[in-house]
Amino acid sequence: MRFKLLRRRLTISAPRVAVRSAMPWPLRWAAAAIVLGFCGAISLWAFEIGRNIAGLDTAAERELLRLRKEVVELREERERIQSELNTSGSRITTEKAAQERLTAQIRVLEAENRALRDDLGFFEKLIPTASAEAVAIRGLQAEVLAGSQLRWQVLVLQPVKNAPEFHGRLELSIAGTQDGRPWTMQLPGGAQPLSFRQYRRIEGMVDLPANAVVQNVSARVVEGNATRAMQSIPL
């Protein structure tokens, strides 16, 4: 019997035996974690050493410094361009205002020039002539504005010294065509009273009828029933 038991234990048919560690499983997990952490630390240390040896940190720092410098330069360039734009805008505004002032001054000077020419022509017509006329019409002027109005001006004078005061009236006649037919008209208010000693300048505006074409303007100075002066101009 004992021999059979001994043989069973020493042969293949002997029962299986499990060998178990006496260390508890929490301690085994803690030991494994320590080993893994140690391995990770060694790997990180080896990586850092390799990167330093390869010069990666130095190149990255140089690149970072270069990029920061470029950012600063770009900001300065942007501020400079913005300042130039602001200055250019102010200069353009100033030049535009100066141009508008010059344009307004030119218009004023042109108006003054026209007024001076008119005054010069007016006083030239006041110069006495060798005519023996007691009353004369000088400088009858007429202009059609926009086809609907007529602006007229008449200078009446006595071309003698110490002339007595004249009392009469001024008649203005406008002639032309309307719708292809002959047409004439007088001043809407009739003849204008005229009283002066040396000279008198009279002007006014006349509304023209539709489709009227002015061809001639005549002015006549009348004293009582006698015509003292008359002048006519074509248009």
**Whole-number Å distance between alpha carbons of 167 and 192:** 11
pLDDT at 130: 46
- Rounded CA-CA distance 225/168 in Å is 10
Strand partners for 193: 169
- Tens-digit pLDDT profile for residues 138-186: 878 899 888 788 999 998 888 777 778 889 999 999 999 988 899 999 9
- What Rg do the C-alpha atoms of the chain give, in angstroms? 58
Q: Reply yes or no on whether the pLDDT at 81 is more than 60.
A: yes
Closest-CA residue to 186 (of 209, 163, 166): 209
Helix locations, 126-225, DSSP H: none
Query: What residue ranges do the domains of the chain occupy?
Result: 37-125, 131-234
Share of the chain above pLDDT 70, in %: 72
Q: For 176-234, how does the pLDDT look when each residue is reduced to its tens digit (9 = 90+)?
A: 998 889 999 998 888 889 888 888 888 889 999 888 899 999 999 998 888 888 999 99
Contact 196, 165 (CB under 8 A): yes
Q: Confirm or reject CATH 2.60.40.10 for domain 131-234, answering yes or no.
A: yes
What's the whole-number average pLDDT of the chain? 78
